[in-house]
Structure formats: structure tokens, C-alpha cells
Amino acid sequence: MSYIEGFVAAVPRANKEAYRQHAADALGYFKKLGATRMVENWADDVPDGKVTDFKRSVKAKPDEDVIFSWLEYPDKATRDSANNAMMNDPVMKLAGKSMPFDGQRMIWGGFAPINDTGDASKPGYVDGCVIPVPAANLDAYREMADKHAAILKEYGATRTVDAWGDDVPDGKVTDYKGAVQATKDERIVYSWVEWPSKEARDYGWKKAMEDPRMKDVKMPFDGKRMIYGGFKPILDA
């Protein structure tokens, strides 16, 4: 079963191209370690929230934008082996000192997909979200995700992924749990929807929200603490 390494970070707006190049330079390294896909997405439609939001999750400054990015691995064992190799590689430690963003505020973690439907072709737009879900509601969340995915795909989404928190560490400055104010009995879900374009995404959501079936999709979590936004891919390989 596939495995996801999900990231959220704040990058100075002026460093957008430097960040894209930084990610592109790392692509070959991750492929050698077993990653099957690397996707980097830059904030486009990331709203402020009343309780939580993407900007607060990584303490973004006024001149910074949020990135929502992930690595896909064939399984957890490959991902764990890759992380172990990176932790012991002096080249990676040196590269970490020249990152075009503040790595201390980056949040990351490992997630096991519980819903992955559609074609993983290069999207023109991505909706990303991070959600706190009571651990006891795993089955209810999976059922909701399946229904949600079917409706969105009907209106133009090409792929939907919901991944359940598996290896989500506590951070010294920021982390996923703090990002959504997760309680001790909650797990983190890292989720995204892939669309052909932003226009397709706007149309798809409009039609989905008008669909009476959406009203029957009950959310087994506190939606007020969910963080979400729209992102434009800047690297997908």
C-alpha cells in the first residue's frame, strides 16, 4: 500500500523560484531513495480562518506564502528507509543549511492512505486540507471520504486522497497537531483533491455544493478546526 510524506511550510514570496529549484534539485535524490512522485504546490487561494488556518499553522509572515507538498512512496518501509538514509547523509545535512525557507517552522509527517481514487496525472490545481479526526471515527471518516470523492469526481476532480496520520511527530516550533489544535484522542488527516485547472476546481465545487447529496455527507470531525486552501502546482514529477 502506498504511503505519503506530507509537508506544509512558509516560504518568502521572493524565494518562489529559488524554492522551486531547490525542490527540483532534490527530485533525483528522492527518486533514488524510492519515492514515486513528488508534488510541490504554492498558495493561491488560502483563506484566513476564525480558529485555524494554513498561515497560522506555520507562523507565516506577511511576506511569506504557504506551500502544501507531498512525497509518495510505494509503502511505509520504503519511506522509513528513505528518511533513515537522509538523516545519516552529510550531504543532506549541508543542504539543510541552505534552504530558501525557515525549516524550523515546516510541519511534516507520515500518512497512510485510507481513500485514494482517480488518476494521479499532473493536476492544474490542488485543494489541500489538514483535519483533526477522533481516532474512534476512522470508519465514519472513510465512509464520508468515499462519498465525498464520488461527488467531486462526478464534477471534474481527477483524484482525491485522504491519508490517516501514522507517524506525525511533535515539533519544537510547529507541528500538525498544533496546526489544527488536535486533542489527545484525535488523529491528523492529510488530504487533497486534484483538478485539471483552477476553473475546473471552481466549477466543480460550485456544482458539488449545489448537489443535495452533499447535505447528506456528515462530517465526523470538528470542521471549525480544519485548515484548507487552493494551491497551484510548481513541480510535479
pLDDT at res. 97: 72
- Taking the alpha carbons at both ends of the chain, their separation in whole angstroms is 20
pLDDT at res. 141: 98
Lowest-confidence range among 49-53, 111-115, 119-123? 119-123
pLDDT tens by residue, 96-111: 678 999 999 999 999 9
List of residues 6+ apart from 124 with CB closer than 8 A: 195, 196, 197, 198, 200, 232, 233
Number of domains making up the chain: 1
CATH number at residue 199: 3.30.70.100
Local confidence band at 94 (pLDDT 50, 70, 90 cut-offs): confident
pLDDT at res. 225: 98
Tell me, letter by letter, the H, E, C secondary structure of the chain: CCEEEEEEEEEEHHHHHHHHHHHHHHHHHHHHCCCCEEEEEEEEECCCCCCCCHHHHCCCCCCEEEEEEEEEECCHHHHHHHHHHHHCCHHHHHHHCCCCCCHHHCEEEEEEEEEEEECCCCCCEEEEEEEEEEHHHHHHHHHHHHHHHHHHHHCCCCEEEEEEEEECCCCCCCCHHHHCCCCCCEEEEEEEEEECCHHHHHHHHHHHHHCHHHHCCCCCCCHHHCEEEEEEEEEEC
Q: Which domain holds residue 28?
A: 3-236
pLDDT tens by residue, 144-155: 999 999 999 999
Residues 161-187 have a mean pLDDT of 98
pLDDT at res. 216: 86
pLDDT at res. 196: 97
Neighbours of 178 (CB within 10 A): 16
Decide if pLDDT at 93 tops 80.
no
Contacts 24+ apart (CB under 8 A), 148-152: 148/217, 149/115, 149/117, 149/118, 150/117, 151/208, 151/211, 151/213, 151/214, 151/217, 152/193, 152/204, 152/208
Cell of 82: 528513505
pLDDT tens by residue, 193-228: 999 999 999 999 999 999 999 988 899 999 999 999
